[in-house]
Amino acid sequence: MSPRYRSFAALLALALALVPAVPPVAAQQLAPNRISSTGDSITEAIDAELPLANHWASWAGGYSNFWTRLFGLADVRSHNQRIDFFINPGGRANFIEAKSGADSFDFPGQALQAVDHAAAYVTVFMGHNDVCQNDFADIPTDAEFEANMRAGLESLRTGLPVGATVYVVSIVDIYKLWELGDELTALGLLDCELLWSLTLLELFPCGTMLSPLNSEEDRQFTRGRNIAFNEILSALVDEYSQADPEHYYFYTGSIFDTEFVADDISWIDCFHPSPRGQKKLSHKTWNVGPFADF
Amino acid sequence: MSPSCALSTTLGASLLIVVGAVVAAGQEPARQVVATIDGRAIHLDEVEPRLGLEAYRLQADLHRLLERGVRELVDDRLLAREADRRGVTVEEFLVAEVDAHLAQVGDAEVDAYLAARDRSGDGPEVRTRVRSYLEERARIARRLEVLAELRSGVDLELLVEPPAPPRVAIDLAGLPRRGADQPDVSVVHFAGFRCPRCAESARWLEALVDEHPERVAWFHHSALSRVDDLALSAAELAAEAQAAGRFWPVHDRLMAYEGRLTTDDLGLLAADAGLAEVATPEALAGVVASRRADLGRELAEAERLGVSQAPVVFVNGRYFHPSFGREALEELVADELARTAPAASVASPAGDGGRSESETESETFDPPAAAGREESHVPEIP
């Protein structure tokens, strides 16, 4: 490079250094007309009202229509319904990607489905089955959990339409659910411990919290993992929120802190949220969520 | 303040009082007045049976929260006091008493954990998880031990009493009855005919009535599913049988299917019972359709009483869930039999002078209002 050219390059570099950095322009947030809810059995509303999946009663994708009203089924005022009521955007679509039994290892796959559905609003309520395992040896490490969730978020970042919103909800405090079942048993209302004894045969989920063989130390260990995973979710959302100007990321820890009462858990399995519990999930998450002000 | 608002405020306050009350030994709690009509009192124990289990559940929730809050506060205070006594912060105290006492988890312990689960061949990632679990568990155990030591060194008394299970008022009007005409113990079975567990609890009740034919009466109350048309059809067939005075034979045959009914079975049963008008699926479907409007009301009533999922049994208004087992039910009935002397003046739900099942019962099981709060009657877990 000639001395003259070197001088020009140096001047140009200096000039560029002096120009104030232009922050990336945030994309316009899309109306949440296409909602995709990722997660596990809670988002599928397993055992909420009737045995197995009760999608109409899902906190995120729940719905009310002619048939649910005819049969008198629960109306949980889900995010999907609130979008209709408060925002009423055109081109509505509602996809429940959640699957019973899904854990963080399944999140990347569900995220890809949300991308395929060109979702404008993705809810993420995942991690219960990471905390809830048959054995303590199966609870993922922080690194594994983070890698799984990051992989899913990365798919959303690269695949969702510009302006889409990702809303990550903290894992429920599963210790409190155990307390509720324990209370129902102690009060003579329902023998939850009988149901939970099926964890010993791996016929019922969440042996790491509900197994009758667990000590208090075991339950508190599991709760510790619950808290650690929520911290990872919060940190990931912070990171993506700062690094990705094209999408909107939100996190709420409010669900971990939520107090549930006996009527909030399913009387079918003493564990999953009842319609009242689903309604509470929807109410709490919506009110601190990305569209609360609409 | 409106009367209804005043009542609800008083009720709310009373729930709190009940939860937090310190019950002095041997002292009969005073009846609490929650409203007055022209100066005449309405007592809490008159209102509670009408609330079903709702108030009980709320009291239980409050009790749980209060007990947890008390325990956390006690632990915080004990930790602060001990740390203060040693002239350190709570964190420093915990490091000294918990972390400093922990030993490293060795390979042998990890091997033992995996071997006990027949997972010795699991990879290094599983070994990492197990090590982390064993280390953290030991830390938690030590912390709990420290707290237990602190508690044992003080005179600690938890004065928060759990709520007592209520006796709920159940309208027995029109319910088919089996057993004693003037029972000391009325057992109401909320059940459906497509539910195997209902068939099981029905067998228990049949045995109880056979054992105490002069003192125990069994009432059947439909507990319907919102979306199970076949269960609804079966309930309607039973209702038709009741109207024809043939409820129990049809009931027993329906229960004998252990929940595995088909539409054809219903037709066969209807024909056998001489119920020709509902012997075809179309005719039965017509009856069911005309009844659907009532379904919501019946479900609401069942939910008010605390029946979320059939079967549920009420023994003289005391809730019993069959998940606790036959032995616990027998104990509950025995308890009620012991409490009510034969031909005692306890509110008799039937007292119908031996009417047949097809006649309309008009009574309500109303628990004695002035009996005060019962002692805890939580069934023992078998």
CA A287 to chain centre: 15
Closest CA to B250 of B265, B270, B233: B270
Instruction: Provide the shortest C-alpha distance from residue B141 to chain A (in Å).
Output: 6
Query: Who wins on pLDDT, B91 or B222?
Result: B91
- Per residue in A50-60, pLDDT tens? 888 999 999 99
Tell me, yes or no, whether B98 and B35 share the same domain.
Answer: no
pLDDT confidence band for B159 (50 / 70 / 90): confident
Phi, psi (rounded to 5 degrees) for A45: 55, 45
Range B104-128 average pLDDT: 94
List the structure tokens of A242.
């700062």
Cα A278 to Cα A282: distance, rounded to the nearest angstrom: 6
What amino acid occupies position A141? T
Half-sphere exposure of B250 (CA within 13 A, CB side): 29
Contact B218, B203 (CB under 8 A): no
Query: Of A139, A180, A187, which to mutate for an interface test with B (greatest number of B Cβ within 10 Å)?
Result: A187
Contact B317, B52 (CB under 8 A): no
Tell me, yes or no, whether B221 and B346 share the same domain.
Answer: yes
Range A166-183 average pLDDT: 92
Closest to B144 (Cβ–Cβ): which among A144, A217, A224?
A217
B161-189 residues labelled b (16+ CB within 10 A) or e (exposed): ebbbbbbbbbbbeebbbbbbebbbbbbbb
Range A152-158 average pLDDT: 98
Contact A11, A236 (CB under 8 A): no
List the structure tokens of B1.
């303040």
Instruction: Provide the shortest C-alpha distance from residue B103 to chain A (in Å).
Output: 17
- Per residue in B298-346, pLDDT tens? 777 777 787 877 899 999 999 999 999 999 999 999 999 999 865 544 4
- Say what the pLDDT of residue B258 is: 94
Whether residue A156 has pLDDT greater than 80: yes
Closest to A216 (Cβ–Cβ): which among B144, B226, B308?
B144
- Per residue in A16-42, pLDDT tens? 555 555 556 678 999 999 999 999 999
Contact A56, A275 (CB under 8 A): no
Query: Of B15, B127, B131, B226, which to mutate for an interface test with A (greatest number of A Cβ within 10 Å)?
Result: B226
List the structure tokens of B240.
């038709």
B285-318 residues labelled b (16+ CB within 10 A) or e (exposed): bebbeebeeebeeebeebeebbbbbbbbbbbbbb
Tell me, yes or no, whether B121 and B43 share the same domain.
Answer: no
Interchain CB distance below 8 Å, A183 and B64: yes
Range B348-372 average pLDDT: 41
Tell me, yes or no, whether B253 and B199 share the same domain.
Answer: yes
Cα B312 to Cα B223: distance, rounded to the nearest angstrom: 9
Contacts of A135 in chain B (CB under 8 A): 117, 119
Tell me, yes or no, whether B227 and B100 share the same domain.
Answer: no
CB distance from A91 to chain B under 8 Å? no
Structural domain contains residue B202: yes
CB distance from A213 to chain B under 8 Å? no
Interchain CB distance below 8 Å, A136 and B299: no
pLDDT confidence band for B364 (50 / 70 / 90): low
Contacts of B58 in chain A (CB under 8 A): 261
Closest to A221 (Cβ–Cβ): which among B56, B137, B299?
B137
Tell me, yes or no, whether B357 and B232 share the same domain.
Answer: yes
CA A13 to chain centre: 46
Interchain CB distance below 8 Å, A140 and B129: yes
Contacts of A258 in chain B (CB under 8 A): none
Q: Hey, which residues does B118 pair with through a beta bridge?
A: none
Interchain CB distance below 8 Å, A195 and B162: no
First to last CA, chain B: 49
Structural domain contains residue B62: no
Closest CA to A56 of A278, A291, A287: A278
Q: How many CB atoms lie within 10 A of CB B191?
A: 26
Interchain CB distance below 8 Å, B324 and A191: yes
Count the residues in chain B.
382
Tell me, yes or no, whether B239 and B107 share the same domain.
Answer: no
CATH fold of the domain at A25-173+224-287: Rossmann fold (3.40.50)
- Say what the pLDDT of residue B174 is: 85
Instruction: Provide the shortest C-alpha distance from residue B251 to chain A (in Å).
Output: 24
Tell me, yes or no, whether B236 and B121 share the same domain.
Answer: no
How many CB pairs below 8 A link A and B? 101
Range A173-186 average pLDDT: 88
List the structure tokens of B244.
């024809």
Tell me, yes or no, whether B19 and B89 share the same domain.
Answer: no
Nearest CA in chain A to B63: A183
Instruction: Provide the shortest C-alpha distance from residue B237 to chain A (in Å).
Output: 20
Q: Which domain holds residue B144?
A: 81-152
Residues 228-267, chain A: which have Cβ within 8 Å of B?
259, 261-263, 267
- Per residue in B16-71, pLDDT tens? 333 333 334 445 567 899 999 999 999 988 888 888 788 888 888 898 889 889 99
Closest to A186 (Cβ–Cβ): which among B117, B137, B378?
B378
Q: What is the secondary structure of B193-216 as a DSSP string?
A: TT-HHHHHHHHHHHHHHHH-TTTE
Structural domain contains residue B164: no
- Say what the pLDDT of residue B25 is: 43
Closest CA to A137 of B104, B137, B139, B98: B137
Q: What is the secondary structure of B20-66 as a DSSP string?
A: H----TTPPPPPPEEEEETTEEEEHHHHGGGGTTHHHHHHHHHHHHH
Domain total in chain B: 3
pLDDT confidence band for B295 (50 / 70 / 90): low
Which one of B152, B181, B196 terminates a domain? B152
CB distance from A136 to chain B under 8 Å? yes
Q: Is A165 helix (H, G, I), strand (E, B) or coil?
A: strand
Structural domain contains residue B64: no
Domain spans of chain A, in order of start: 25-173+224-287
Q: Is the CA virtual torsion B234, B237, B242, B243 positive or negative?
A: positive
